[in-house]
Amino acid sequence: MKRFSMVVALSLLTAGTVMAAPSVYVDQVPGTYPESPFSGEFRLTPNADLAAVLGSTSAFQSFCLERYAPLTTNTTYAAFVNDESIYGGGLTAGELPGPDGGDLLSPQTAYLYAGFRNQTLLSGYDYGPNHGGSALSLQAAIWYLEGEYVVDAATDYAGFNSLTKAYIQEAMNSGWTDTNGVVVLNLTDGYKNPYQDMLAMTTPIPAPGAMLLGGLGLGVVGWLKRRRMM
């Protein structure tokens, strides 16, 4: 019910669109590591309805939150903005599920993704044509922080390369206690079957009218979230 209400509310806020819904086109970024299952980077292109919520019409790079959730590139998915992974996110020891029963996005993962998008990661990131190693290392750090490795924390950590370990330590020492505008996109197909959960950021659009629309969209998301928790 919450998801249906969110789609309706956002559609009403989008000028010139009738019964539209947020969606995103997913494509793999050339040169990144094709782990099986696929890992980041991915290039996500939002439609106008999703862009109104995220605050930007531009395509952006993203990473997967689920290690084994299905995803097909060159495909458009319905996208629901949330703060938790729904497909089957792993919970770390002592972690409680979110209101939707999924895995709440950790502030540490949010820190890494914000640092990646803003190019401020202290551990560095190769944004050049040979960035596959950086992408693999950051994806592994995200999966680790989201509880997606199934052995145990010590064993998994010991097997990581030095850059993945550096990302994990940087995130753990970041001091972040909130997700600070980093959100989760729950992807579904045309039959509402769940697919991958991916990372995104909310940023303001410079145009005043677009910023107002984006603000209203975020307000709807927040209101629906509060309403569900009552």
Instruction: Show me where the domains of the chain are located.
Output: 2-229
Tell me the CA distances in angstroms from 110 to 13, 138, 151, 181, 193, one per residue in order.
Answer: 27, 12, 23, 8, 26
pLDDT in tens, 109-155: 999 999 999 999 999 999 988 888 899 999 999 999 998 887 677 77
CB 110 within 8 A of CB 182: yes
Of the ranges 19-23, 84-88, 157-161, 173-177, the best mean pLDDT one: 173-177
**pLDDT (tens digit, 9 = 90+) per residue, 35-81?**
544 577 999 999 999 999 999 999 999 999 998 888 999 999 999 99
Task: Write out pLDDT tens, residues 167-218.
Answer: 999 999 999 999 999 999 999 998 889 999 999 999 754 443 433 444 444 4
